[in-house]
Amino acid sequence: MKKKINSKIISYSLRGVYLAILIVCFATGKPQHLLAFSGPFIVTLPLLFLAKKEEGYYSVDAMFTGLFIAAMLMSYFDMWPTASTAFTIDKAFHLLAGACLANFARIYFKKKANDRGAYYLMIISSALAVGAAWEVFEWTLSKLPAPYMTPSTGYDDTMMDLIADAIGALIVVGYAWLCAWKKKEQTWVEIK
């Protein structure tokens, strides 16, 4: 018999690793990493409270935390590409982030949507809205004084990042549509 992996333990363990890396950033005098990555840690904390009602949020939290740990380690060890091109590791991170955001929206709106079209639109819209907010966060970091600032890569990079977020969201919408098509169940809330 297969043993089920406990997403709650994985989620909290990854949070511990994330916090340890933030402490290392602080201790080694790399404040730009501490500032840039403590925000996502704090902003995603409500996922743990949502997970008490719906177990799927632990998986989403683990995905987000793992993604941010990978990005933080790449940044800390100066492995992040400085030039912005159409296909860099940055775009892969944005694609995965778009998928994580869409997966969160998929779970959140599953019982709240009135019909499938609205459900899929809410998933994509949520991922794009948070992706745009992230781009504003990146822009804000680029305007801070040294040593906190991160270099800005311009509007073309912002657009490519949002396109990558949208592709990640579309992948999750495709997955949600396939699951609904396979089950052929009507799981949508009726308006009375």
* Chain segment 35-94, per-residue pLDDT in tens: 677 878 888 888 778 777 777 788 888 888 898 888 888 877 877 766 555 567 888 888
43, 59, 80 - which closes a domain:
80
| CB-CB contact of 171 with 99 (8 Å) | yes
Rounded to whole angstroms, how far apart are CA atoms 110 and 104?
10
Q: Which domain holds residue 89?
A: 83-192
Tell me, yes or no, if the pTM score tops 0.85: no
Let me know whether 44 and 101 are in one domain.
Answer: no
C-alpha closest to that of 170 among 134, 142, 128 = 128
101: enclosing H helix or E strand: helix 89-109
Tokens 């907010």 locate to 133
| CB-CB contact of 15 with 65 (8 Å) | yes
Let me know whether 57 and 68 are in one domain.
Answer: yes
Interval 144-190: pLDDT, tens: 766 555 666 666 778 888 898 999 999 999 988 888 777 765 444 43
Let me know whether 111 and 66 are in one domain.
Answer: no
The number of domains in the chain is: 2
Q: Which two tokens stand for residue 81?
A: 């590409």
